[in-house]
Structure 1
Amino acid sequence: MAELTISAADIASALKKNLEGFEQSLEARTVGRVAEIGDGIARVSGLPDAAVNELLEFEDGTVGLALNLDEASIGAVVLGDTSSIEEGQPVKSTGRILSVPVGDGMLGRVVNALGEPVDGKGELVGTQLRRMEIQAPGIMGRKPVHEPLQTGIKAIDAMTPIGRGQRELIIGD
């Protein structure tokens, strides 16, 4: 009977070859529980590190938006069907802040609250994601207002000239 011999160098090279393609995929997520659910709002406990506008994932895959952060719980707006969400179900923190697609690819498209297309025209092309809440640029960094905005109401146009791009509250019918 023939005896098999394997050298230590052969074992080491085989191990190195197998380890080259290895990628560690460890994902740590904080998990809380649904304390209350009603009227499209879920009160979630056990997520102390959640941020404002962070997306939360419920057990059925429905997404919620963390808005009201208290010490003991979080008030989250459920962005989907709430019929399958029940008290005691787990809620995962995603670590993602609400972002929406922006760009020329959004023109003429209909999207839901998460920026996903709902008009049946396929995926969004020519867009990039931008956080929903960002710091506004300083007044000196903005483009100056140089073009008038005509409202079509002579009294407003004469008494209160408004510049295009200027923030101005106009109250009326």
Structure 2
Amino acid sequence: MTDEFDDIDQPEEEWVSKTRRKQEMHALQALGKKLVGLNNEQLDKVPLEPELLAAVKECQRLRKGEAIRRQLQYIGRLMRLADADAIEEAMDRFEAGKQAHDAHFHKLERWRDRLVNGDGSDLTAYIEEYPHADVQHLRQLVRNAQKEAQQQKPPASARKLFKYLRELAES
């Protein structure tokens, strides 16, 4: 006689709806699409199976829309077998690095705008923050950028100023 409670100790398979499975597949396909956007140096840092790496590189090579769509679907299928969490973690590291780079870039843009549109106190504040700056060269770049802005000319000197600010920040 079998008791209906004999299989209580057996773990039940978790039921997953078809909608949920499709959402997971689309998420994996989107992650695969992000992989296709990476360069070779970044791809080397992501833990990918050889077959998945080959599929990503093949997709990068393709130029036609329908072929790319099919290849992305194939990458999505391969992603089901891959360690998606490790891949996602590597992608998050790239994104964090990009955000830090963007924040640094925006800080330099704000400095440039303050120097061009501000008064001498902004230049003094910049020199205090970056004491290794060539003050004479910096003043000349700021004057040229201010002159261009007043004359409503293209901002060639402002670009040179930004380039110099970026060089100072990197050194």
TM-score under structure 1 normalisation?
Answer: 0.30
- Larger relative contact order, structure 1 or 2 (CA cutoff 8 Å, min sep 6): 2
Query: Greater strand percent: which structure?
Result: 1
